Chains A and B, each alone.
Chain A
């Protein structure tokens, strides 16, 4: 039997240095999942299953999954798990997201964004 052709396998991205989190939202999403696990909203096993499922879905949808989209998977898994556990509704998350968007757009650059900013601007 011939050995498998391993040259078709994709290369491993070897970016070595660089910050642990590339953007603040990655750090916040990371910390929220860890904190909720600490508080018992879900177990590590549930977490691993949720993020594993997210990664498989992303790959099926064409994400080359080189590690740089990892926190997108992380965030999607967190949203689904939080909703599945009844800790937040999809509706509330969507509404609050829109509220942050309105607040950001009403906040001058360099100023802290506060919910409801568009009402006081």
Chain B
């Protein structure tokens, strides 16, 4: 594992940049545990201070330090993303592997359901969920809803891998050896599906974070819990752009773009490492 990481860092520029960016942002987010003030406190500091030696990224119109707000915000946003990713991976793996292994009628039924889910527009459904829940909406509920909407593409991918494993020799051996279906799936097939899970997880994380930003920018989440989108929401509420408080909006945008860039570079370089086809095309270099 460490050897792979070292090789990737040394020979894959995209991975190295992505790794440094993501790690840097992660450490920055981690710093919020040592913040000098609670992230929910408002009007603690003088409002609307531009970036200075004392307040590096300035303060908001609500008297918060942009730097420490961002640190908490990125942490919360990433936590949301990772929760969605783990939940939706569980669904995708379960549906994909069962569908691929059982085949036949089960496969057809599960994949029809899968394709139906793909055709449903996510955003309006999430907005409807928020609308009917309103004040009882909390981030875990939102994460669960997002996870329910975010597993379909990947279930198809995992299914196709399992489908090809089903006819392999070792599967037949396992069946003759009397292993049960869950045993075969978990012990024999899961290791082969792992790379796909890992790669789709990266993409899913990016999608989930994007979703969180979108919803909280509109104020459709717990607005008192700092998130990247939530910061932009409050900045809009206070008309920061018109008032010239540019640092309230610019720094969160820069942070989110850097985070996306880092995660995306990690995702494509890991995919390249896993995928034998693109590996082959690299050999010519």
> Does A pair with B?
no
Q: Which residues of A come within 8 Å of B, CB atoms?
A: none
| B interface with A by C-beta (< 8 Å) | none
